[in-house]
């Protein structure tokens, strides 16, 4: 059985990074985009990072352009946007695919551990579901992630303990991170 520490990813400069480097930390792993309606999530993510990083918390940011081409820039352009507009300091990795035959194995694993359970109730969520279904049709059974800013919470033992869709209130995400850090 795979564990988070078994994966190697690429940083935004293309260097290999073993996730063993994050052993013993609480992680929030996120697929992001700079031109999405959820891009403002960077602000509460950065606030959470600044509040909790000294307690063993890391956010791992993976830009992805698979959702309506909402992350079209290079790794450097994306990084510059995030640092200039939102002051992000958490680690940002190379742009990846999270769905399809060439999906990053980390995201296939995360989604296997915590599958999609819906965007929630309400007209806005139903509209996103319809748009996500159209976008993900091409990926078939390999449509692991439904939209940008899907977040996976990983405990200090490297277990995936929660999945938050982009429609989840960021206060709920923050509270879950705080609770995990207290364990």
For the segment 145-159, what is each residue's pLDDT rounded down to a tens digit?
A: 999 999 999 999 999
Task: Domain of residue 136: give its range.
Answer: 4-182
Give this prediction's pTM: 0.95
Confidence at residue 24, expressed as pLDDT on a 0 to 100 scale: 96
* Domain total in the chain: 1
Per-residue HEC secondary structure of the chain comes to CCCHHHCEEEECCCCEEEHHHHCCCEEEEEEECCCCCCHHHHHHHHHHHHHHHHHCEEEEEEEECCCCCCCCCCHHHHHHHHHHHHCCCCCEECCECCCCCCCCHHHHHHHHHCCCCCCCCCHHHHHHHHHHHHHHHHHHHHCCCCCCCCEEEECCCCCEEEEECCCCCHHHHHHHHHHHHHC
Q: Determine the Cα angle at 17 with ends 174 and 60, to 5°.
A: 15
One pLDDT digit (tens) per residue for the chain, 183 residues = 678 999 999 999 999 999 999 999 999 999 999 999 999 999 999 999 999 999 999 999 999 999 988 998 899 999 999 999 999 999 999 999 999 999 999 999 999 999 998 898 887 888 888 888 888 888 888 889 999 999 999 999 999 999 999 999 999 999 999 999 999
User: Where residue 68 sits, what CATH number does that domain have?
Assistant: 3.40.30.10
User: Which residues carry out catalysis?
Assistant: 36
144 is written with which tokens? 């692991």
180 touches 26 (CB < 8 A)? yes
């Amino acid at each position: 059985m795979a564990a988070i520490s078994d994966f190697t990813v690429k940083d935004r400069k293309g260097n290999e990074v073993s996730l063993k480097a994050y052993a013993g930390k609480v992680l929030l792993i996120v697929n992001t985009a700079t031109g999405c309606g959820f891009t403002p999530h960077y602000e509460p993510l950065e606030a959470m990072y600044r509040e909790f990083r000294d307690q063993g918390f890391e956010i791992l940011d993976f830009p992805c352009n698979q959702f309506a081409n909402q992350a079209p820039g290079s790794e450097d352009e994306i990084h510059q946007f995030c640092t200039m507009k939102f002051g992000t300091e958490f680690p940002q990795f190379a742009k990846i695919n999270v769905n399809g035959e060439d999906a990053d194995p980390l995201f296939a694993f995360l989604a296997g551990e915590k599958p999609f359970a819906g965007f929630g109730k309400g007209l806005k969520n139903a509209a996103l579901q319809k748009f996500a279904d159209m976008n993900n049709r091409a990926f078939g059974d390999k449509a692991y992630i439904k939209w940008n800013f899907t977040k996976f919470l990983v405990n200090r033992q490297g277990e995936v303990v929660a999945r938050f869709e982009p429609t989840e209130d960021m206060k709920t995400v923050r509270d879950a991170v705080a609770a995990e850090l207290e364990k």
